[in-house]
Amino acid sequence: MSNVCHLCDKGKVFGGSIVRKGLAKKDGGIGLHVVKNNKRTFKANIQKVRIVEDGTVKTVKMCTACIRTGKFKKA
């Protein structure tokens, strides 16, 4: 079972964490400059949930946003 949501297919997303250095222009400096751009991954908050689907009990992985919606029946 992969680490994606059963309902909305939310999973891992790639992005970056930008590091800036310097004094802002409004504070009298010459502005913020980008020093580094670290690659990172943003992971969805995936939980295991037991649900009733087609009359049978299944254990599936869901993101917490979908769990809060209640669009399924818990076992």
Note down the domain range covering 21: 13-74
Q: Please answer whether residues 46 and 4 qualify as being in contact, where contact means their C-beta atoms are separated by less than 8 angstroms.
A: yes
Q: Please answer whether residues 61 and 8 qualify as being in contact, where contact means their C-beta atoms are separated by less than 8 angstroms.
A: no
Give the chain's largest Cα–Cα span.
67
According to DSSP, residue 55 is labeled: T
How much is the pLDDT for 2? Answer: 86
Q: What is the pLDDT of residues 34-49, one digit of tens each?
A: 999 999 999 999 999 9
The token duo for 37 is: 């751009």
How many independent structural domains does the chain possess?
1
Q: What is the pLDDT of residues 10-22, one digit of tens each?
A: 999 999 999 999 9
Look up the pTM and report it: 0.72
Q: What is the pLDDT of residues 44-65, one digit of tens each?
A: 999 999 999 999 999 999 999 9
